[in-house]
Chains A and B, each alone.
Chain A
Amino acid sequence: MKTTHDIEQRLHAVLADVLGLFPARIAEITPATGLFGSMPELDSMAVAGLLTEIEDQFHIIIDDEEVNGDMLETMGSLTHYVASKLAK
Chain B
Amino acid sequence: MISTYSWSGGAEPMLWSGPSATMQIIMLQPLFEEANRMRKTLVDVQRGLYANGFGVALPDLPGTGESLAPLTDQTFDDWQRALKSLVVARRDAGQTVILASFRGATLIDSSVDCDGVWRLAQETGARLLRDISRTVLARNAALQGDAVYDRAGYALPLGFVAALEIALPQPVQNLRSVRLLQDPNEADARIAGAPLWRRSEPDEDPVMTQAIIDDISAWTTQCAA
A: which residues have CB within 8 A of B? 13, 16-20, 41, 43-53, 56-57, 59, 64, 67-69
Contact = CB atoms under 8 A, between A and B. Distances in A.
Given A45-B152, A64-B137, 15 more contacts: A13-B182, A16-B194, A17-B182, A18-B198, A20-B194, A43-B200, A44-B139, A44-B142, A45-B200, A47-B135, A48-B134, A48-B135, A50-B198, A56-B183, A64-B133
A48 B138 contact: yes
A51 B130 CA distance: 10
B93 interface: no
B201 A47 contact: no
Contacts, number: 71
A40 B141 CA distance: 16
B66 to A, nearest CB: 22
A49 B130 CA distance: 10
Q: How large is the interface on B (under 10, 10 to 19, 20 to 34, 35 or more residues)?
A: 20 to 34
Q: Name the residue among A43, A45, A56 with the largest chain B CB count within 10 angstroms.
A: A45
Given A13-B182, A56-B183, A69-B141, A20 B134 contact: no
Chain A interface helix/strand/loop/mixed: helix
Contacts of B135: 44-45, 47-48
B182 A46 contact: no
Contacts of B185: 56
A13 B131 CA distance: 20
